Amino acid sequence: MKVIVTGASHGIGQGIVSRLAAQGCTVGMLARSEAALQDLQERHSTTNAFHPYACADLQDPNATATAIAKLIGELQGVDALINNAGVVIRKDIFDLSLDEWHAMVNTNVNGLFYATRAVLGPMKEQGAGHLINISSISGKFPLPGGSAYAATKYACTGFSQSLFQEVRDFGIKVTTIFPGSVDSQSHRHDPDADSDWKVTPEEVGQACWDVLNTRPGNCVSEVEIRPLARPPKP
Ligand SMILES: NC(=O)c1ccc[n+]([C@@H]2O[C@H](COP(=O)([O-])OP(=O)(O)OC[C@H]3O[C@@H](n4cnc5c(N)ncnc54)[C@H](OP(=O)(O)O)[C@@H]3O)[C@@H](O)[C@H]2O)c1
């Protein structure tokens, strides 16, 4: 299976890449950090599977389209796109700067749209494909102290659920994933705090693999994945 993953360089994206590569997928990786992508490529490529990468800023529609076209070319096709890249800034409206707001909107909403558009042509033509959009529990329930981030994740949810209705007749599946707290390492408030209670990035990758393996006529449209334990009391 040929799968493109955005935001592959860190956190949840890395976990998705590692699970899919272990399952025998060829993974096209997209992000801005070339050194991290190169490292992942070296770690996961084998004599039988080479995982290409492309560097692009998802805030730029042309750079995104070019990078995705390059990955589709190197993969010689695309079966699925996992829209995982995102900027997570958990601040309330009094503390969030305009630059932070624009970074979240431009990446989490515009970037999601640009990347999706870049794969839909080939998927429509082949009459098959799968879009997996990583929303968040904060794209379903209010997040006090993170209103701007939640707004972008609600946008992801609305886009994803509506897109399902627009593309299903072309044989294209859409799955919205709603993770709770994931130990992506990037967002630990305290690097020494216990994060074992959280979902791991690889477990989100496993959820992606599971939904990619439903039979052609069956689409798992939503998945909520949460830690069983509640956050430890401060
Ligand atoms: N962590 C959680 O608890 C949690 C829970 C629910 C949902 N989520 C969602 O899961 C996704 C990943 O989160 P994470 O925790 O893994 O975050 P992360 O560790 O900060 O990773 C974010 C990824 O997105 C990429 N990215 C960010 N801005 C980009 C841009 N402009 N262009 C291209 N790539 C960009 C980053 O790569 P570069 O910096 O190399 O470009 C990185 O690979 C996000 O959509 C987030 O909303 C996270």
Would you place residue 232 in the very low, low, confident or very high pLDDT band (cuts 50, 70, 90)? confident
Within 8 A by CB and 6+ apart from 123, the residues are: 78, 129, 167, 170, 172
What is the rounded distance in angstroms from the CA atom of residue 86 to the CA atom of residue 98?
Answer: 17
Would you place residue 159 in the very low, low, confident or very high pLDDT band (cuts 50, 70, 90)? very high
Report how far ligand 1's centroid is from the alpha carbon of 169 (Å).
Answer: 30
Atom of ligand 1 nearest to the CA of 83: 45
Q: Is residue 122 part of a domain?
A: yes
For residue range 66-109, what is the model confidence (pLDDT) as tens digits?
999 999 999 999 999 999 999 999 999 999 999 999 999 999 99
**What pLDDT score does 194 carry?**
80
What is the rounded distance in angstroms from the CA atom of residue 195 to the CA atom of residue 85?
Answer: 21
**What pLDDT score does 208 carry?**
98
Q: Is residue 212 part of a domain?
A: yes
Which contacts (CB < 8 Å, 24+ apart) does range 108-113 have?
108/149, 108/152, 108/153, 108/155, 108/156, 109/152, 109/155, 109/156, 109/159, 110/58, 110/59, 110/61, 111/6, 111/58, 111/59, 111/64, 111/85, 112/58, 112/83, 112/156, 112/159, 113/159
Question: Atom 4 in ligand 1: which residue has the minimum CA distance?
Answer: 182
**What pLDDT score does 188 carry?**
58
Whether 121 has a pLDDT exceeding 90, the answer reads: yes
Q: Is residue 232 part of a domain?
A: no
Q: Is residue 171 part of a domain?
A: yes
Give the count of domains, the chain. Answer: 1
Q: Is residue 234 part of a domain?
A: no
Task: Point out the residues that are catalytic.
Answer: 149
Q: Is the CB of 139 under 6 A from ligand 1?
A: no
Q: Is residue 125 part of a domain?
A: yes
Report how far ligand 1's centroid is from the alpha carbon of 217 (Å).
Answer: 31
Report how far ligand 1's centroid is from the alpha carbon of 209 (Å).
Answer: 19
Pocket test for ligand 1, best of 29, 87, 160, 189 (most atoms within 8 A of CB): 87
pTM for the model stands at 0.98
| Sheet containing strand 2-6, strands side by side | 53-55, 26-31, 2-6, 80-83, 129-134, 172-179, 222-225
**What pLDDT score does 219 carry?**
98
Q: Is residue 47 part of a domain?
A: yes
**Residue 197 CA: distances (Å) to CA of 142, 172, 193:** 22, 35, 11
- Mean pLDDT score of the chain: 96
Atom of ligand 1 nearest to the CA of 152: 47
Whether 119 has a pLDDT exceeding 70, the answer reads: yes
For residue range 184-229, what is the model confidence (pLDDT) as tens digits?
977 656 666 788 999 999 999 999 999 999 999 999 999 999 999 9
**What pLDDT score does 193 carry?**
76
Report helix angle 34-44 to 11-22, nearest 10. Answer: 20
For residue range 175-186, what is the model confidence (pLDDT) as tens digits?
999 999 999 977
Specify the CATH number for the domain of residue 148: 3.40.50.720
Q: Is residue 233 part of a domain?
A: no
Q: Is the CB of 110 under 6 A from ligand 1?
A: no
- Domain housing 49: 2-225
